[in-house]
Structure 1
Amino acid sequence: MTVYLNGRYVPYSQALIPVEDRAFLFADGIYEVVRCYGGRPFHLDRHYERLCRSARALELPLPLDEAAFAGIVAELLERNNLQEATVYLQVTRGAAPRRHQIPQGLEPNVVAIARPVQSPSEEEVRRGVSVITVPDTRWGLCWIKTVGLLPNVLARRQAEKEGAFDAVFVRDGLVTEATSSNVFCVIDGVVYTHPLANILPGITRAVVLEILAELGIPCREEAVPLEWFREADEIFLTGTVLEVMGVARVDGRTVGEGRSGPLTLRVWEAFRRRCAS
């Protein structure tokens, strides 16, 4: 496997980062995951815009422009002979002796890796998944896509221990998002999703909002209480790798008919058409 590291393409075993890199010590870094269909990145421009927003929020110098970002993605796909893939790109502040103060003049470290991936099958989408709800214990800047994901990891681990696919965060009694995806629910024909207030501005989320508008399905970017969420007619998750996935159970309770609902499937079908276009 060939990976990208600071301007070079090297074998995976030779992609070495200093032990005092600040991402390793302080989670002082940002990242993006780009889905590629048939060798073509999906909305690469939106991913780069989000990477820039994260970098500005952390005052982290971004050592690549959009053309360089696109070039790295294309080169990794070609060198690894991949068509259906994700490309993970991470930018760290750089390496320095461990101190909380941010040193001046650091050189950011940039690493990117491409891996094969397959979309969820139609059977999996129609069957849906189960989720649990957990308290949202994350920090107050969840809209920044940083590598500091331990609360997400622990919540996902809790879901696995309870036999569920994922965990959905609840903050002050309101549903926010899942560990690596955004959350939508359908109540009386209206789709609800948490507004962009301290949640991750998902690329797939944005595309789904466009699809809902095109289909003429009413949608409100409005936080939903947990009680409403548990009684919703349909629930679905959206994410770069997950795409659009229905939820069949929440905290052991059946959602709708216990599988992906008709509105969820309409959105999924429209999303898949976009991916193929």
Structure 2
Amino acid sequence: MRGRTQPATEAMHDAPCYLNGEFLRVSAARVSVLDRGFIFGDGVYEVVPVYARRLFRFDEHMARLARSLARLRIANPAGRDEWLARCRALVQAEPADDQVVYLQITRGVAPREHVMPEGQTPTVFMMTNPMRPPTAEQRRQGVACTTARDFRWERGDIKSTSLLGNILARQMSADHGAVETIMFRDGHLTEAAASNVWIVHEGALLG
């Protein structure tokens, strides 16, 4: 299992970021309180790992981002090469060799109304942070996990910024002194609250 969480008490890293056409630091980034991502969680995100300063499976991540946007009827605000240039600029601004680039696109700023507004300019936010791999002890000993029914919504094909279900599931493990909650639905393992799950069975890697 590859974790993607950081302790809530960890000092905030003033990460390099990109917001609506400007490169800056997260401490200087500002978004309207009427942004539909803030009001409704009306947006999608994508995460691109970076190993040795190289973006991992960039095109596959961009394809998934495009699918999520299309299913929410949000026009993709950039082409593949523009996304790539922005990601590379952020990676260059972060000293760590291994990083995690986060991209988020919301429907943009509009009056609070559930119906999707037309013609809004999407809000585009990106940032990168140093990757936090498992410790040597965690790799050697493993980590404690809890299990739970996957009670999240059924549109797993949309990588939505609304992650309340994941938060509740992850808190379940924290409340029991564990690292993660592995979720099941209809007898099938779906995923963990904030991690990918991989299984080694008879020498073969399944995931």
Coarse TM-score class (shorter-chain normalised): 0.7 to 0.9
Corresponding residue of 2:192:
178
Q: Which letter maps to 2:46?
A: E
User: For the residues of structure 2 that align with 1:116 and 1:176, how far apart are their CA atoms?
Assistant: 27
Q: How far apart are residue 107 of structure 1 and its match?
A: 0.1
Q: How many residues align?
A: 193
User: For the residues of structure 2 that align with 1:83 and 1:90, how far apart are their CA atoms?
Assistant: 22
Corresponding residue of 2:36:
22
Q: How far apart are residue 85 of structure 1 and its match?
A: 1.1
Q: Give 1:1-277 correspondences, 5 Å limit.
A: 1-185=15-199, 189=202, 212=205
Deviations along 1:102-137, one digit per CA (max 9) or x if unpaired, are: 111100000011111242244421211121111211
Structure 1's unaligned 5+ residue stretches are 192-211, 213-218, 220-237, 239-277
Deviations along 1:147-200, one digit per CA (max 9) or x if unpaired, are: 01111111100101111111011223432211123434456x386xxxxxxxxx
User: For the residues of structure 1 that align with 2:153 and 2:183, how far apart are their CA atoms?
Assistant: 12
User: For the residues of structure 2 that align with 1:190 and 1:79, how far apart are their CA atoms?
Assistant: 39
- Bigger proportion of residues as helix: 1
Structure 2's unaligned 5+ residue stretches are 1-14
The normalised TM-score by structure 2 is: 0.86
Q: Is the 8 A contact 2:46 2:102 kept in 1?
A: yes
Deviations along 1:231-274, one digit per CA (max 9) or x if unpaired, are: xxxxxxx6xxxxxxxxxxxxxxxxxxxxxxxxxxxxxxxxxxxx
The normalised TM-score by structure 1 is: 0.65
User: For the residues of structure 2 that align with 1:184 and 1:80, how far apart are their CA atoms?
Assistant: 29
User: For the residues of structure 2 that align with 1:172 and 1:190, how far apart are their CA atoms?
Assistant: 27
Identity, % of aligned positions: 39
Of residues 51-60 and 122-131 in structure 1, the stretch that sits farther from structure 2 once superposed is 122-131
Structure 1 residues 170 and 118, CA, compared in 2 at 3 Å: closer, same or farther? closer
Corresponding residue of 1:271:
none
Of residues 26-35 and 113-122 in structure 1, the stretch that sits farther from structure 2 once superposed is 113-122
SS at match of 2:197: strand
Deviations along 1:36-56, one digit per CA (max 9) or x if unpaired, are: 112111111111111011111
Of structures 1 and 2, the one with the larger relative CO (CA 8 A, separation 6+) is 2
